Chains A and B, each alone.
Chain A
Amino acid sequence: MKTIRIILADDHTVIRSGLKLLLERQPDLQVVGEAANGRQAVDSAAALEPQVAVLDIAMPQMNGIEATRQIVARNPAVSVVILSMHSDEGYVMRALQAGAKAYLLKDSAEADLIRAVRAVSEGKSFFSPAVSRMLLEDYMRQMQQKGASDSYELLTSREREVLQLIAEGKSNKEIATLLNLSLHTVETHRTRVLQKLNLHSVPELILYAVRKGIIS
């Protein structure tokens, strides 16, 4: 069995050691480095080349979101899991824009962290159920209040497939291979999906997919 190498960044030692204990109960998970702030996290990600970085948002010197941006910019192979106290859409959006793959609420970290780490190591996104629920509720309320019909109905089944694969974090090339399409066709589908749903970026698309329950 292949071990998943993880670095852990949180300025609270108690949480860090607790999470480490939690992760290392799993035989295939190994915490290779720890950091007490964003800068240390960026340094150890560069030095240790882990598959997964688990970062708290609120950290001194450099916060988790800025650290995510730098880690992903240097090494896109590192999948970042964000730990946060906030279930608000603004934070989720910011984390996704910075390049995070998973967004966890600290209240439920002990239940979701292992699943999240496994998901991102396979290239998938992951959101705490509480976050998904909240995003979905807000979306439903907006739809209801606007009285607008769901633009998801406008998508063709092929476009829905492409939407799900993009939301799961697949690259255009991967999608082309999976669906047996040309790269150009995938790009066309991608543009059309964004247009039909009135979205402007992949993070927005991921949020949309979470709201719709297309991905977890």
Chain B
Amino acid sequence: MSPQVSMSAKSNLQILSGVRLMLLLGFFGLLGLLGFAALFSIHSLRVVVNLNERSTRDYIARSEELEDIRGNAYTMSSRVRDFLLDREPASSERHRDDALAAWERTTAALAKYRQQCPDPQLPAFRQLYSSLVSYWAEVEPALKWDEEARSKRGYAFLSDQLTPRRDEFFRLLDELRRSNEVELRSASDESARLIQELQQRMSSVLIAAFIIGLALAAITGVQFFRMERSVRLRYQASLENRAQLEALSARLLDIQEDERRRISRELHDEAGQALSGLLVDVANASAAIGEDHAAVRERLESVKRAAESTLASIRNLSLLLRPSMLDDLGLIPALRWQARETARRTGMNVAVDADDAELELPDEYRTTIYRVVQEALNNAARHSGAENVSVTVRAEPARLLVRIRDDGKGFNPHTTRGMGLLGMHERIVHLKGRFLIRSEQGGGAELVFELPPVASGQAQGGDVA
């Protein structure tokens, strides 16, 4: 039984360490996965936000530049028209200067836009640029026209040459604006794509985490049930071992008691009787030789004394092993004898309070009660310093109650656990009885035990009774 248990315990230990490693890895993996997912999503969101911010900022900046170009180009073309059509001589100078200034601002705005123009817009930008430059190339010589030339050719020049070109670059500007809008929309499409990608990754991470978590829970659960079962098995095994030990110790007590009884009887009946016979023979021999042989009589007298003292020792030894009263007279006379012996030996006053009416008890009960009382009296004599000890035996319908009480210095029953108390407890528990010690320092001690009532037919009285 026990080697099996220890083997399975060892293999459990190995399984435990393997599984523990696996669980450890699993838990750290899960944590790592979730941490990575969190960092990754933070990063991705930041990328998306940056992208949005940048594309919006660029769009706004470019739109402003375009408006700048458009505004200046419009001013420029208006001033050129005014210059060509205005008949007020004083004003023409101012219109020309304004047109020049507006052109300069336009080229500056163009240069600025060029710097932040994205690659896809470059062809459209170049078209715009060349359209504006070619417009200006037409305008520049006309700005030197005098009033006459202007009034003569001005209108035709404006409507034939300049207005189509002007419409052209305004169309190109509109195109650029649209393309800017397209640019913005594609940036927002890009961020939408990034977010979708993030969603996909996150959901696969979550699925993986869920699977790992499920596996961890399953392993933990299986492990838990396995451990619970092994604990239960071990507990059962320990209960069985305990029961076996108890049975063994009860058996040992039985054997010891039988052996004591046998040796006690043997000593008493064989050795004792032989010595008694010897004493009678010596007395007869002594009488037979008459008064004449004084020396022989003296020898016989010494033989008699030796035989008497040996007989006394044998009787004491026999009673010490197992008092014959227990078998011959029953429990109560044996307890009374024990009380008298203890009183004789120790000077304590030992009173036995019991009903002398025959208490019919099986041998097991008699022996148990006798031995426990003997042990209690010995303890009281050895340790308590008591003056009075009382032993009470009550046979009630529902129980057999025995109480040993002394007025000694007492002890703490929770800390005192001698072999004596343990042995008493074991004997009583073996008969399915209950055992109780009440004592406190300085307050005497009381040892109470009760045994279940003896089933009728089970009892055997003493031999002599």
> Which residues of B have CB within 8 Å of A89?
336-337, 340
What total of chain A residues lie within 8 Å of the partner, measured CB to CB?
Answer: 31
How far, in angstroms, from A202 to B409 measured CA to CA in the complex?
A: 42
> Which residues of A have CB within 8 Å of B282?
110
Interface residues of A in 15-46 (CB under 8 A from B): 15, 18-19, 21-22, 25
Take A86-B324, A90-B333, A90-B334 as given contacts and tell me if A14 and B274 are in contact as well, using a CB distance cutoff of 8 Å.
Answer: yes
Q: Is the CB of A88 within 8 A of B325?
A: yes
B279 on interface, CB distance cutoff 8 Å: yes
What's the minimum C-beta distance from B288 to chain A, rounded to whole angstroms? Answer: 9
Interface residues of B in 328-357 (CB under 8 A from A): 328-329, 333-334, 336-337, 340, 343-344, 349
Interface centre among A66, A110, A138 (most CB of B within 10 A): A110
Interface centre among B280, B282, B324, B464 (most CB of A within 10 A): B280
B416 on interface, CB distance cutoff 8 Å: no
How far, in angstroms, from A16 to B276 measured CA to CA in the complex?
A: 10
Partner of A107, one of B274, B284, B312, B328: B312
> Which residues of B have CB within 8 Å of A88?
325, 333, 337, 340
Interface centre among A58, A88, A137, A145 (most CB of B within 10 A): A88
Take A58-B269, A90-B333, A91-B325 as given contacts and tell me if A85 and B464 are in contact as well, using a CB distance cutoff of 8 Å.
Answer: no
B287 on interface, CB distance cutoff 8 Å: yes
A109 on interface, CB distance cutoff 8 Å: yes
How far, in angstroms, from A75 to B343 measured CA to CA in the complex?
A: 40
> Which residues of B have CB within 8 Å of A12?
273-274, 276-277
* Bitwise interface map of B from 280 to 304 toward A, beta carbon under 8 Å scored 1, else 0: 1111100100000000000000000
B451 on interface, CB distance cutoff 8 Å: no
Take A88-B337, A89-B337 as given contacts and tell me if A18 and B324 are in contact as well, using a CB distance cutoff of 8 Å.
Answer: no
How far, in angstroms, from A97 to B213 measured CA to CA in the complex?
A: 88
What's the minimum C-beta distance from A95 to chain B, rounded to whole angstroms? Answer: 9
Q: Is the CB of B283 within 8 A of A110?
A: yes
A73 on interface, CB distance cutoff 8 Å: no
Interface residues of A in 81-127 (CB under 8 A from B): 85-86, 88-91, 93-94, 106-107, 109-111
B311 on interface, CB distance cutoff 8 Å: yes
Q: Is the CB of B328 within 8 A of A91?
A: yes
> Which residues of A have CB within 8 Å of B279?
106-107, 109-110
Q: Is the CB of B337 within 8 A of A85?
A: no
How far, in angstroms, from A86 to B273 measured CA to CA in the complex?
A: 12
> Which residues of A have CB within 8 Å of B276?
12, 15, 85, 106-107, 109
Nearest CB in chain A to that of B282: its residue: A110
Nearest CB in chain B to that of A200: its residue: B356
Q: Is the CB of A107 within 8 A of B283?
A: no
Nearest CB in chain A to that of B343: its residue: A141
Q: Is the CB of A94 within 8 A of B329?
A: yes
Q: Is the CB of A14 within 8 A of B281?
A: yes
Nearest CB in chain B to that of A106: its residue: B276
> Which residues of B have CB within 8 Å of A57?
328, 464
Take A91-B328, A91-B329 as given contacts and tell me if A18 and B464 are in contact as well, using a CB distance cutoff of 8 Å.
Answer: no
Q: Is the CB of B328 within 8 A of A22?
A: no
B308 on interface, CB distance cutoff 8 Å: yes
How far, in angstroms, from A12 to B272 measured CA to CA in the complex?
A: 11
> Which residues of A have CB within 8 Å of B463?
63
B430 on interface, CB distance cutoff 8 Å: no
B403 on interface, CB distance cutoff 8 Å: no
What's the minimum C-beta distance from B275 to chain A, rounded to whole angstroms? Answer: 8
Take A18-B281, A22-B283 as given contacts and tell me if A90 and B272 are in contact as well, using a CB distance cutoff of 8 Å.
Answer: no
Nearest CB in chain B to that of A19: its residue: B280
Partner of A22, one of B284, B315, B340, B344: B284
A65 on interface, CB distance cutoff 8 Å: yes
> Which residues of A have CB within 8 Å of B277?
12, 14-15, 18
Q: Is the CB of B328 within 8 A of A141?
A: no
> Which residues of B have CB within 8 Å of A66?
464
Partner of B268, one of A19, A85, A93, A145: A85
What's the minimum C-beta distance from A43 to chain B, rounded to whole angstroms? Answer: 20
Interface centre among B329, B334, B465 (most CB of A within 10 A): B329
What's the minimum C-beta distance from B309 to chain A, rounded to whole angstroms? Answer: 10
Q: Is the CB of B280 within 8 A of A109?
A: yes
**Which residues of B approach A to under 8 Å, CB–CB?**
268-269, 272-274, 276-284, 287, 308, 311-312, 315, 324-325, 328-329, 333-334, 336-337, 340, 343-344, 349, 463-465
**Which residues of A approach B to under 8 Å, CB–CB?**
12, 14-15, 18-19, 21-22, 25, 57-58, 63, 65-66, 85-86, 88-91, 93-94, 106-107, 109-111, 137-138, 141, 145-146
Closest 8 CB pairs of A and B: A18-B280, A110-B283, A90-B333, A14-B277, A145-B349, A106-B276, A15-B277, A12-B273
Starting from the known contacts A85-B268, A89-B337, A110-B280, 6 additional A-B residue pairs (CB-CB under 8 Å) come to A15-B280, A89-B340, A106-B272, A106-B311, A110-B282, A141-B343
26 contacts between A and B (CB under 8 A): A12-B273, A14-B277, A14-B281, A18-B280, A18-B284, A21-B280, A58-B269, A58-B273, A63-B328, A63-B464, A86-B315, A88-B337, A90-B334, A90-B336, A91-B328, A91-B329, A94-B465, A106-B276, A107-B276, A107-B308, A110-B283, A110-B284, A137-B344, A138-B344, A141-B343, A145-B343
